[in-house]
Each structure stands twice: as structure tokens, then as C-alpha cells.
Amino acid sequence: MTNHRETLIGKRVPVLDKGWIELQDIMGDDLAIVNAARVSFLGESKGPDRDKKLLFYLLKHRHTSPFEQVEFKFRARAPLVTWWQWVRHRTWSVNAQSGRYTPFQEDDFYTPDGWRLQAEDNKQASEGILTGPAAAELTEHLRAHYEQGFALYDRAIKAGVAREMARLFLPGFAVYYTWVLKVDAHNLMNFLRLRMAPDAQYEIRVYAWAIYEHFFQPALPWTAEAFAQTIVSTLGPMQD
């Protein structure tokens, strides 16, 4: 089985306007999952065909504990509106950048490509895109809001105000933070199943698809193939 660890560690993928996600480390591979399932038999490989068949059986019949033997460690930069969705998955271990310790920069704010409209039938979803002069005007207002907020933040910092209080001037949901995150393959698949779905918020959906396409698939090709047959085929491609 090809080991993609060396080519994946340190790989960084851009997401949104100023965000990114990179793989810092990975423990295990498809064979580690199979060997964990065969722990009573010393975890020995029985050849690629039988090993892959067993892995597909495990996922299909929800024998998920062997998938917990593989772990991914990521470092990601995303706006708070994304992290607000991410931390709801309590199976991730996370450490976040501290605004009390690290000062924010002038461009640390998320500017969306467009303005999504509120869905009529779903109170927590969006549907369609606002077009015309109103959309451009809102974007200009948003940028002006960012500029004013950062100017007040910077003024407070220069006046000697503690960073933990000066950040009150910043537009909270738009601020970019950097996090370190760790998750096992079983819980990562649960995350991907929910956050790659069309009804997931766009700002987290793009991160989920980036993880799936750039890290999960190449690191665990057998697992990704089995996962695609049961889950991804029902989701369709990533939509802008």
C-alpha cells in the first residue's frame, strides 16, 4: 500500500478568501484499521484483496472502533462564523489562537463572495444569492465596518488597553482565528457526513470538502472509497 504521509504532512490548501487548512500529522493508514480489527489474530495482513474487503465490511456494518486507530492533526485558519459550527462536534480536540496574546491584523476579516438569501422554508439555512446594486453596496458597508472596527481596536491598543478588552471593537463573527485540531478517522467521517451536506452552512462546508478531497482521500484511499459509496454519492459535488 502506498504511504502518502510524506507528501501530505505540511500540505496547505487555501479556503475562503483568507483561510487555509494544512495537515500537521497523521497516525495510521487503511492497513492499521484492518489490523486493529484483526487484533485477536495478531493483526496480520491477509493480502490487499482480503484486507480491503474487510475494511468495506467494517464500514458498511458500522463496526467503527477500528477506524478510531487512525488520527489526523490539522492546523486551520477560519473566520469565527466557521468555528462556531466546528466546535459543535465535541469529538475534536482543539486549541485556538488567543486574542489576548496575539494581536489581530488589519486584514483578519472574512469578506464573502456574495450575499446569500434567507431560505423561506428553513429558518437556519440560506437559498439563492442577492444580486444587483444592493449586493455591492452591502459589501462596501461591510468593508467600511471592518475598517472602522479595526481602527478603534488599534486606537485602544495604542492607548495601552489590554488586548483582551480592545478586541471588543472587532466584528466578532468575521475575525479569522488559527486553530490546531485533532480527530480520529471515525469521528472525522461523522463530521464530513454532516458538514459536506448541501444544507450545511457554506463557510464550514468548504473546509469539510477541502479536508475530504485533499487529505482524507489520499491518506485513506480504501476508507474514502467505502465512505464515498455510502455517503458522498448522496451529497453531490460541492456547490458554490
Nearest residue to 163 (alpha-carbon basis) of 154, 171, 172: 154
Show which residues are catalytic: 195
Type of residue at 1: M
Residue 191 makes CB contacts below 8 A (sequence gap 6+) with: 89, 91, 92, 183, 208
Kind and range of the H or E run holding 85: helix 80-86
Type of residue at 208: A
Q: How far apart are CA 9 and CA 19, in angstroms?
A: 18
- β partners of residue 75: 22, 180
Neighbours of 205 (CB within 10 A): 21
